Amino acid sequence: MEKPYSAACERNREPILEIMKDVITRDEKRLLEIGSGTGQHAVYFAPQFPWLEWYPTDVAENLKGMKLWFDEFKIPNIKAPVRLDVSKDDFPKLKFDVVFTANTFHIMHWKECKSLMKLLGHRLRENSKVMIYGPFKYGGAFTSPSNEEFDQQLKTRDPSSGIRSFEDVNNGMIKNGFELVFDYDMPANNRLLVYKRLKFSK
């Protein structure tokens, strides 16, 4: 099996890293990545935060491929990847300070997005952060013609996928105990949403 490769990861990693450097502090010790895909993001980001334990996860069929990257690069703070299908599984039983997920909301069905937000609200403690990267619609409108085209392509492949409304995601996060801290404008009509868990109330 050849290492899986994502060209998009190579393009977006630098601007994401710039934001991560502002968001992730030295007090934060564990990061959970959801939908790690090829594993390229973990390989690029984890060495920049050597004090942070990076926990990559994804659905079962992607673990073998990302492991090829991890075996080659041997980055000490990347943990062994584990299965996490947000509609079926719980997080590893650890306290996570940061959750990062890139380009997953438009792939997951809306039901899965809601499961993910519920899981985040259930498992993260006060002041934990969530970083969600990807394209979103605002006020019901696409932010560019290319995003509209992308949405059509996604729906042709899988009618239940598609670019989500920022408002739906934001309401879902608020409902599960988070507040929006930043909404960064990113290259190629993407956004990076940063949330903070409010006082744990359940």
Nearer to ligand SAM, 140 or 159 (CB): 159
**Least distance between ligand SAM and beta carbon 106 (Å):** 8
Pairing, β 178-186 against β 136-137? unpaired
Q: Yes or no: say if 117 and 193 are a contact pair by the CB < 8 Å rule.
A: no
Options 85, 174, 183, 198; binder of ligand SAM; rule CB under 6 A = 85
Nearer to ligand SAM, 52 or 86 (CB): 86
Instruction: Give how far the C-alpha of residue 154 lies from the chain's centroid of Cα atoms, to the nearest Å.
Output: 18
**Least distance between ligand SAM and beta carbon 95 (Å):** 20
Q: How far apart are CA 4 and CA 74, in angstroms?
A: 17
Q: Does 86 bind ligand SAM (CB under 6 A)?
A: yes
Site for ligand SAM in 34-63 (CB under 6 A): 34-37, 41, 58-59, 62
What residues contact residue 195 under an 8 Å CB cut-off, 6+ apart? 129, 130, 132, 173, 178, 179, 180, 181
Other residues' Cβ atoms within 10 Å of the Cβ of residue 134: 20
Nearer to ligand SAM, 80 or 201 (CB): 80
Nearer to ligand SAM, 132 or 179 (CB): 132
x/- letters, 107..126, toward ligand SAM (CB under 6 A):
xx---x--------------
Nearer to ligand SAM, 150 or 182 (CB): 150
Half-sphere exposure of 192 (CA within 13 A, CB side): 21
Q: What are the Cα distances from residue 40, in Å, to 11, 12, 66, 109?
A: 11, 11, 8, 23
Q: Which residues bind ligand SAM (CB under 6 A)?
A: 6, 8-9, 34-37, 41, 58-59, 62, 84-87, 102-104, 107-108, 112
